[in-house]
Amino acid sequence: MKIEDILAKLPYSEPFLFVDTIEKIDESGVVGTYRYDENLSFYKGHFVDHPVTPGVILTETMAQIGVVCLGIFILNDSFTKDSVIALTSSEIDFLKPVFPSETVTVFSEKIYFRFGKLKCKVWMENQKKETVCKGFIAGMIK
C-alpha cells in the first residue's frame, strides 16, 4: 500500500487532521510528522500569551499517526470508508511542552493486532530529537 493511499483513507479533515507525512511504515510500526500551525484555534485560549499545545492534541496526533495510519496499512484493502475506528485506551506521559510552529515526529511500534484491536508503543520527538511524550495507545478498527 502506498503512503498516499493511507493518507487518503484517513477519516479526518482540517482542522482535526494531525498527519503531514508518513516517513516509514511496515507491519511492525510507523514514523510520521506533523507541524502545529501557530494559527490553530486552540492556541488562542490555552495559556494566554504563552501558548502550548494541549496534551489531548499531542495524544490525538500520536493516535492518528501511530495507530490509525498503521491500522490502515495493516488492513490494506479491508479498510474502507465504512470502517469504524475508536480509541480504547491511552497511557501517555508528557515530558516537555510543544509550542506553536513546532514540527514533531511520531514513532510507533506495534505491540499486537488481534480481533480488530491494535495496541502500540508510541513516542513523540521535537525537532531537537528530544522525547516530548511517550506511552501506549490502543484502538479498535472494525
d(CA 78, CA 76): 5
Query: Cα-flanking dihedrals φ and ψ of residue 43, to 5°?
Result: -70, -20
d(CA 76, CA 1): 7
pLDDT at 1 over 90: no
Output the pLDDT for position 74: 95
As a whole number, the mean pLDDT across the chain is 95
Output the pLDDT for position 77: 86
The model's confidence at residue 75, banded by pLDDT at 50, 70 and 90, is: very high
pLDDT in tens, 29-50: 999 999 999 999 999 888 888 9
pLDDT in tens, 107-142: 999 999 999 999 999 999 999 999 999 999 999 988
C-alpha cell at 107: 514513532
Q: Which helix (H) or strand (E) holds 123?
A: strand 117-125
Catalytic residue of the set 35, 46, 117, 121: 46
- The whole-model pTM stands at 0.95
* Active-site residue flag, 46: yes
Output the pLDDT for position 72: 95
Output the pLDDT for position 38: 95
The one-character DSSP state at 136 is E
Domains and CATH numbers, the chain: 3-141 (3.10.129.10)
